[in-house]
Amino acid sequence: MALSGRPRKLTERGQKRSLTFCSPLLQISKLHVTFRSAQVQKAESFMEWALWGFHGLRACSAPALPAGCITALQAVDFWTKQFEGKGVTEPELSSRYIIAYLLGAKTIESLEQQRLKEFLSREETDQLWQLCTQRLSRMPVQYVIGEWDFRDLTLKMRPPVFIPRPETEELVEVVLTDLQRLCGSGATVLEVGCGSGAISVSLLKSLPQLKAFALDQSQEAVDLTRENALRSFHLSILINVNADALLGLCGSVAVLVSNPPYLFSQDMATLQPEILRFEDHAALDGGKDGLNVIKQTLTLAPRILPNQGRVYLEVDPRHPPLIQQWVEGNQCLCLLLRPRFCILQNEAPKPDQD
């Protein structure tokens, strides 16, 4: 998963352990560091850094990073090596984002050089240990730091709610362009499978006059969408209901947009540990052909869209011909294709001519 985004604040987790260091240069004892129990046996790997950074530092027990003895730049190098050694994807980016977040910045580059050369405090050192050991467990950076950038928004993130990908930003751009050209800024939009609310909230920020509805089968996703909407402004309504109940609630909507679960079930086993261990499988697995939710969405669309209303879907590259076959059996929808996306337009049946 490509990394981009903004670090902020994350609640501490784990439990306290007492660690003792012995050194000819430093007398350090009973340093209290917060970290996850699963990482205790892995702590010996930190000796390599301790030897490098403190010229002969030796550990009598599992070592930790001493407070006031490591700078942010040194921490970036150290944790990058730790991530590389454990096979963590994008190790340097992971290290840089976590440490930037720790220091209250978006990126390392946005921090002053003087701050990067200052020694980290005990609190910062403890929190850094905690955050990086979470990343060592293969928790995605987005969950580790608790938020992520999507277009011009900073959205809250927490497991297991689906993490928005950069491709979905392109989908939002397509929808925005068509909304402004075809529907006007006061149209009504329905998002099916809202996850973190990235699509709905982003559309509303760009077109505040929109009326938006967001739907998801996961209450955790609905709650997170609500939180992200309230950070900037209110969505019209956020609900967790079945599609039939939605019919009476929404009426006609100009646009239905969705980044549905579209992975083929057989492909789930090939996903990275970050995805398999932490993200909601229901937001990823689209069934045998990846079309389970897509077909349900397309069945719903003609019932709530007006004539010329549109459906925007992010899909697997293998899906367009499969969706084309489905559309051929449903004459209410006309398929328009773009790379990675399917756009379908509702076409009201023409009256019979005598």
What positions carry a catalytic annotation? 162, 259-260
Rg from Cα positions in the chain = 24
The DSSP letter of residue 285 is B
Beta strands in 199-331 (DSSP E): 211-215, 237-239, 255-258, 310-314
* 319/130 Cα distance (integer angstroms): 41
Q: Are 294 and 319 in contact (CB under 8 A)?
A: yes
SS3 35: strand
Q: Are 63 and 72 in contact (CB under 8 A)?
A: no
Query: From the centroid of its chain, how far is CA 271?
Result: 15
Residue 138, both tokens? 């293969």
Q: Are 101 and 128 in contact (CB under 8 A)?
A: no
